[in-house]
Amino acid sequence: MVTRRVFIVFILPVIFSIIVGSAVLSDVLQQPDRELNLWPMSYSEGGSHSSIEIMGLSEQYTTTEPVEIQVKIDDSSFSCGDLYITIYSSGKSDVITQGGFFDQCFESGSKMVPVGDIFSKIIDTPGSYEIVVEMVSKQLQNISTKGTFTIK
């Protein structure tokens, strides 16, 4: 008799709440423009007033010319962090290439990353591409910007 009461009072409500919660979450995620963001970060898109800039990006490259860039950060809260650079096929979410530069701490007076290195990749397929640069600080703040270029 006691085990039946324990099941009805404690276990059955837990099972019921998991089922109902899963159904509600599934319904919400089916709606357009909805996503599950378990690790929210601030997002700042590049522009003339942005604190992150792509330096050295040309509008056009050849299939034998490397895409070489550096990133300039003008935000004092980003003295150290991880830099992620990803190149996508423009208009699609296909990742062409990416690079990660971890524990990037600025040298005295310089705001350029990657420190002591340059992101350099050769893309041998003609087309339009988008490059996305993200800097994540030690405090898990995030700033990013993007640019476009073509390969002829």
Q: Is the pTM value of this prediction over 0.85?
A: no
Q: Do 100 and 139 fall within a single domain? A: yes
Which domain covers residue 11, as residue numbers? Answer: 1-36
- Cα(135)–Cα(95) distance, integer angstroms: 18
For the chain, the C-alpha Rg in angstroms (whole number) is 23
- Cα(20)–Cα(32) distance, integer angstroms: 21
Q: Do 147 and 90 fall within a single domain? A: yes
| Of 61, 49, 29, 44, residue with least CA distance to 133 | 44
Q: Do 8 and 74 fall within a single domain? A: no
pLDDT of residue 17: 94
**Residue 8 DSSP one-character state:** I
- Looking at the domain assignment, is residue 15 inside a domain? yes
- Looking at the domain assignment, is residue 46 inside a domain? no
Q: Do 70 and 105 fall within a single domain? A: yes
pLDDT of residue 49: 42
Q: Do 59 and 134 fall within a single domain? A: yes
Q: Do 32 and 56 fall within a single domain? A: no
Inter-residue contact 67 to 131 (CB < 8 Å): yes
- Looking at the domain assignment, is residue 129 inside a domain? yes
pLDDT of residue 39: 55
Tokens representing 87? 């190149």
Ordered mean pLDDT values, 10 residues apiece, the chain (152 residues): 78 92 84 63 45 89 91 79 88 84 75 80 91 86 89 90
- Cα(108)–Cα(136) distance, integer angstroms: 20
pLDDT of residue 129: 92
